[in-house]
Structure 1
Amino acid sequence: MVRLLADHRISGLPVIDEDDKVIGVISETDLMVRQAETPDPFDPPHHSRLAALTPAGRRHTAKAQARTAGQLMTRPPVTVHADDTIVEAARTMAKSHVERLPVLDEEDRLVGIVTRRDLLQVFLRSDAEIREEVVQEVLIRTLWVPPTGIDVSVTEGVVTLFGQMERKTETEIAASMTRQIDGVVDVVNDLGWRQDDDRLRPDEQALHGVTGDWLRRS
């Protein structure tokens, strides 16, 4: 395991079973615990016995005595699926305080690894690239809104949407979809609307096309 980490210049390894399903993860920290655990002549014998009484102490002792990947790995693994968004992966990584995430396919089998460095690369996108995606993917292709009708500005990843749309729900969709775009740090929604369709009865709402489908799924 140490050779794999050194040869590939990586800091962690997923552990898989015979079906290529991830059952745990091994980090440099796990290996350091294993290698560094040696008897300390200055450590009172009762100290190690007391530490082993706690759950954390027992896990530490087990890792220190491990001889295989299965014994050393941390479980359960924190993973993401291949179709999860970059934002979802970043949130999972931050919430779980991990530096890498095994990526699974639809059958929960390992297909890759995403690291903090991979995620940080996304946020190096230029403001111009982000603006182009907001205009093309959100306004034109999803909401069918002429790009000249809405002002989109991006400054250091913060997207500001300004203008007036036909319905209130469209402004909410525009802001929500923009937040999911890779590289977007925040969204300032200054969009207005002509019709507050939140107040209409379901049978009166003018839902149609892609916008209606998006609302029903959300």
Structure 2
Amino acid sequence: MKHLRTVDDVMTHAVISVDRGTAFKDIVETLRMWRVSALPVLSEGGQVVGVVSEADLLLNTQDTDASHDITAGHLMTRPAVTVTKDATIAGAARLMARGRLKRLPVVDADGRLIGVVSRGDLLKVFLRPDADIGAEIRELIMYQLIPHGSAEVHVHVANGVVYLNGSLPDPTLEDVVVRAARTVPGVVDIQADFTAPVPA
């Protein structure tokens, strides 16, 4: 399975959007047709200038006679919270949690829409097989963090939970090893139980 590390690895490239002039009823119909809860609003140059959501529409349903005059430009929330394709999955998840958002528009360096990432997309990382997670952690620990042959580290992964035990040449390395293992995509939690090496 491909290592899922950035938004680019999980985002949806085909995106439905509206422009500032899209009418209220057309927005409702687009949301219904594509079964989404929000739409990016684009400028003439393709930049994301806002987002219009079901909540935005519901706040403006009191005056139904005037709904035909209301456009996405009137309704949208701005500025839009966006993310770039090279943002980490964890960073995108923090943005969503902070703003209580379900989806984020993905933009290029000029702010143009290139995709969208949802909560469900971000959760794909946790479908990674345990064996792949364990292999990457072993390689990270034994070949990058600890001098060859100076430690005996056992790695077991079950349902994304990583169990680390064995002995380390320096007790201060435990925190380094645990923090490094947390960076591996698919890790849900880490349980570490290291001992000091037995003197020769």
Same fold (TM over 0.5): yes
Structure 2 equivalent of residue 37 of structure 1? 62
What residue ranges of structure 1 are gaps of 5+ in the alignment? Answer: 40-63, 195-218
2:105 to 96, 102, 106: 102
TM-score (norm 2): 0.67
Q: Which residue of 1 aligns with 2:29?
A: 3
Q: Which amino acid letter does the alignment assign opposite residue 69 of structure 1? A: A
1:143 aligns with 2:172: no
Choose between structure 1 and 2: higher helix proportion: 1
Query: Unaligned 5+ residue runs, structure 2?
Result: 1-26
Indicate the SS of the match to 1:123. Answer: helix
Which of these residues, 64, 77, 82, is aligned with residue 80 of structure 2?
Answer: 77
User: C-alpha displacement at 1:97, in angstroms?
Assistant: 0.7
SS state of the match for residue 193, structure 2? strand
| 1:99 positional shift | 0.5
Is 1:133 the counterpart of 2:158? The answer is no
Give the number of the structure with larger relative contact order, counting CA–CA contacts within 8 Å between residues 6 or more apart.
2
CA distance in 1, matches of 2:144, 2:109: 26
Greater Rg by CA = 1
TM superposition shift of 1:13: 1.0
Aligned residue pairs: how many?
A: 168
Q: What is the CA deviation profile of residues 118-144 of structure 1, one whole-angstrom value per residue up to 9, with x for unaligned ones?
A: 1223223332332233224x2356436
Q: Measure the CA separation in 2 of the matches of 1:187 and 1:66.
A: 55
Q: Residues 30 and 72 of structure 1 are in contact (CA less than 8 Å); yes or no, is this contact kept in structure 2?
A: yes
Q: Look up the match of 1:206.
A: none
Inter-partner Cα distance in structure 2 for 1:192 and 1:65? 70
Is 1:89 paired with 2:89? Answer: no
Indicate conservation of the 8 Å contact 1:85/1:180, yes or no: no
Structure 1 vs Structure 2: percent identity of aligned residues? 42
Mapped partners of 1:192, 1:105: distance in 2:
48
